[in-house]
Structure formats: C-alpha cells, structure tokens
Amino acid sequence: MEKLQVKRENIFRIPIVRIDGVDNNDFIELDIEDISLPFRCIEALEKRDEILKEAKQMQQEMQRKINKNNQEEVTKEILEMWNQQYNKLREVFDLFLGEGTCNKIFGKKNYATMFDDLMDALTPFLDEFDMSFKNTKIKIEKKYAPKNKGVI
C-alpha cells in the first residue's frame, strides 16, 4: 500500500552546530510558506521579554529575603527559579523553531544570554529566509494569479 506524502518544496534549512562545537549534521527546518511563522517569531520574542522581566522581579523579591542565616538557601532558590524560567524560554523558542531545537543547539546548558545569542546567530539566516520567502511569494503569484499580480 502506498503512503501519502505531501511535497515539501519550500523548506529553508539552517545547519546547526551545538554550543559545545559538536556538529551532528543537524538543522532547523523553516517552512517558507507557513504563514504563521512570522507571528510565532514575534510571539517568541515578546514572551522572552515577559519571562525575563518576571524573572528579574522574582529575583529582586527573593534577594530582599536574604539575611545572614539564609543566604545560601535563597541563592539556591534564585538559581532554581532562573533554571525554570530558561526552561520556559526553551519551550517558547521551540514553538517558533520546532520541537527540540533548543536542545539541539544548547544541549542541557542554560546561560543568561542564550536567547539573545540565538537571535543574533539566526539573523543572517532570517535575512536569507526573507529572500527565499519573496521568491516563494513570486512563485505563488505566478501559479495562482498570472493575470492579477496584486493577489498577495
């Protein structure tokens, strides 16, 4: 029996080298025709800002509780809170880039500027993706609106 498989012609692939330098020949796949992709990117950036703002406020509240007797305990709580927040951020960016992408890039390591570093590293690819998107838009216009170029 044959299996159904939809053609996937407009997939943009970004090669990944893990943060520790290991190259597993892995990649991120972005579907150029996925209309929701820009919205997911914007949402990821907005949620990143919200989560980081909330985490900073939580840290300030926790630091107010520090005294001579509980400094080590509160410091541990702060570190645990940051780890939880970074795990939330991983989920947010995985919704944008695909399930498991953050693990492919960062492994299990969490650090303060990881998502800023990720966006900096993605920027040249997203610029190239934009060019591919424009080419795809032209293909769609030719296919569905050969006489009316203003459809999209």
For 114-135, how does the pLDDT look when each residue is reduced to its tens digit (9 = 90+)?
Answer: 988 988 888 888 777 665 556 6
At 139, is the pLDDT very low, low, confident or very high (cuts 50, 70, 90)? low
The structure tokens listed for 3 are 């299996």
What is residue 133's predicted lDDT score, i.e. its pLDDT?
58
Give the distance from CA 15 to its chain's centroid. 14
Name the residue among 139, 99, 144 with its Cα closest to residue 10: 139
pLDDT at 127: 73
CA 95/CA 73 separation, integer angstroms: 34
pTM check: above 0.75: no
Cα separation, 74 vs 63, in Å, equals 7
Mean pLDDT over residues 41-66, rounded?
Answer: 93
Query: What does the buried/exposed string (b/e) look like for 77-91 if buried means 16 or more CB atoms within 10 Å of the residue's CB?
Result: ebeebbeebbebbbe
